[in-house]
Amino acid sequence: MSLVHRILRKPFFGRFEVPWEWPSNAPAERWERVAFDSDNGARLRALWGAAEGEPVATLVLAHPMGKAAKGFWLRYGHADLFRAAGFHVLAYDANGFGESEGVSFDYPADALAAGRFARECEPRLPVGLVGASFGAGWGLCAMARAGSPYRAAVLEGAFPTLPDFWRHYPVAHAALRASQFVWPAMERRLRPEREAARVVGKPAVLLVYGEGDPYTPPSHGERLARAFGESATVDMIVLPDVEHTHAYRDAAEEYAGRVVPFLRQALGA
């Protein structure tokens, strides 16, 4: 990571980019460590978990912003839920997070690389995406890039634009606004609301929001649903008393009851 890039990352992700620790509630022997390259030059680290029983599809899990990185999906039980439902799971660290080296702000490239790797691992199976907040936004952008393998996506707490999310963090928001003048092309390429109309392959998309989420409220989902237009088949659910990125933790039964059938149907299981 260059000195300039390290300085630019600090206001946004400095407190999250720490040595990664295995979640204490997840048996390590149930996972295979894998690695692959992103087009932005980063070597990405990930965990592969095989489906229980006959596999029906592969899911890429794109983590929210936080120290847990890919461990988020193990810690809160999403990975076990999906594996038990017949999905292979690839949980990856975006560059600079967890065990992946940090080289770029091009996080959509990471999500695209993860999808391609998942397809290479099981070429006969369709590939879907499950993302939360940070991972949902960049996963959406990845779906608008050539070569996207994603036929379906569950996007929880996705933000329409970076300023919409970072306005809750004054220092980072100020740095972002400054970057729009210094490096305007970067922010323009990282707008999920702009990229939604460009997603390829007309995937099925389920947007998930919580009424208790101040960072990415349901109004963000309404904006994105409109932005997709005819490029995707879109549905949206809003869950009461659910906090940011915690739909499965706070409403496990409803989350599982909506997300798993959606993925099975959308991925042709």
CATH, residue 179: 3.40.50.1820
Q: Cβ distance 32 to 100 under 8 Å?
A: no
3-class DSSP state for residue 235? Answer: strand
Crossing angle of helices 134-142 and 107-121, rounded to 10°:
70
Mean pLDDT of 128-143: 97
3-class DSSP state for residue 20? Answer: coil
Query: What pLDDT shows up at residue 133?
Result: 95
In angstroms, the CA 88 to CA 50 distance is 5
For the chain, what's the residue count?
269
- Residue 130 Cα distances to 7, 58, 167, 226, 234, angstroms: 30, 10, 25, 20, 14
pLDDT digits (tens, 9 = 90+) for 38-90: 999 999 999 999 999 999 999 999 999 889 999 999 999 999 999 999 999 99
In angstroms, the CA 89 to CA 74 distance is 11
How many distinct structural domains can be found in the chain?
1
> Percent of the chain, pLDDT > 90?
77
Domain that holds residue 235: 3-266
Q: In sequence order, which ranges of 133-198 are alpha helices (DSSP H)?
A: 134-142, 162-166, 170-182, 184-188, 192-195
Query: What pLDDT shows up at residue 182?
Result: 46
Query: What pLDDT shows up at residue 169?
Result: 53
Q: Is the pTM of this model over 0.95?
A: no
Between 9-23, 117-131, 142-156, 228-242, the lowest mean confidence (pLDDT) is in 9-23
- DSSP designation for 211: T
Is the pLDDT assigned to residue 226 strictly greater than 70?
yes
Tokens of 5: 């890039």
Q: Cβ distance 244 to 217 under 8 Å?
A: no
Is the pLDDT assigned to residue 191 strictly greater than 90?
no
pLDDT digits (tens, 9 = 90+) for 29-52: 999 999 999 999 999 999 999 999
Crossing angle of helices 170-182 and 3-13, rounded to 10°:
140
Q: Cβ distance 247 to 154 under 8 Å?
A: no
Query: What pLDDT shows up at residue 104?
Result: 87
Beta strands at 87-92 and 43-49: parallel, antiparallel or unpaired = antiparallel
